Each structure stands twice: as C-alpha cells, then as structure tokens.
Amino acid sequence: MLSFCVREVIEKIGIVKTELNRRWLGLGIPQPFLETTAAHTIEAALLAVSLAEIVDECDACKVALIALAHELEGSECMSIAEALKEYRVSKSIEAKIVRLAHELSTLLQAGRYHRQGFRVESVMKESLSKALDLTAEIGHAELAQAVHEILTMLGSL
C-alpha cells in the first residue's frame, strides 16, 4: 500500500507537469510557447546542483531536494515541507544556491522568449538583479565566476 507522501507527490507531480509557469502569464506569450512549472523546476534543479558542486561546504543532495520541492506548495510530506520552508527562509547556503538557480533559470527562459520577439525585458532586469544580489550574498569567488559565465552565455544564445 502506498504511503500518504508517495500518493501526494504523485498527485503534485501531475499538477506541476501541466501547470504553466505563472511568471510568464500576461506577457503576451502564446500558450503553446509558455514554459511549464515542471520544465522550470527541472532546469532550476539541474542548475542548482551544478552550482552546488562548485561550493565545497554545500550539500548537493540537499540542494536537489530543495530545488525539486520549491514549487510544491502545501505539501504535508515532512521532507518536502521542510525543504520548502528552507527555500522560503533562505538562510542556508543550499537554499541561497537554489534561489540563485531559480533566478538564472528565469533569466535563461526570458532570454529564449526575448530572442523570439517577446517583450520580457522587465523580467530579465528583475531576475538579473536578484541573481547578482544572491551571488554577492553567497560570496564565493568560483560561484561568482560561474554565474558570470552563465550570464555571458546568455548573451550568445
């Protein structure tokens, strides 16, 4: 028999897979082009784990859990609820890296939309500002270099 947590996660995954990322609603992007919450979550999680590997004192497994849970609102599963709380509070290095990856993922998607001719400059500016602030707050030179390289890459994509 499946535990309550497994059932809840299966139900939430079903929702996240079809839910459109609310960040892009109202910006004139046609529905077929809108990013799903699942696509954003996967991109942010993979970026977060990649960035976590740069920072020695960071637990990449914890980063992965926080990143995967950051869009699962209202979970009653203990580990997911704790990860979501940690993401919201953002005091740990792991949560800060997930927040940074979230902003970088948003910025990368904004760049994709921008190249398609959609007006998303305000989202780009906001996410860039947050990403730079988080990078400074984390204060890790190699991480800052990686973020710089991602931002440089954004200009060439």
Give the domains, in start order, of the chain with CATH numbers.
4-22+30-156 (1.10.3210.10)
CA–CA separation, 56 and 52 (whole Å): 8
- pTM of this structure: 0.93
7-47 pLDDT, tens per residue?
888 899 999 999 999 899 999 999 999 999 999 999 999 99
pLDDT in tens, 102-116: 999 999 999 999 999
Angle at 21 between CA 15 and CA 25, to 5 degrees: 125
Question: Does pLDDT of 49 surpass 60?
Answer: yes
Whether the Cβ atoms of residue 12 and residue 68 lie closer than 8 Å to each other? no
pLDDT at position 2 is 67
**Neighbour count for residue 2 (Cβ, 10 Å):** 9
Residues of the chain with pLDDT > 70, as a percent, come to 97
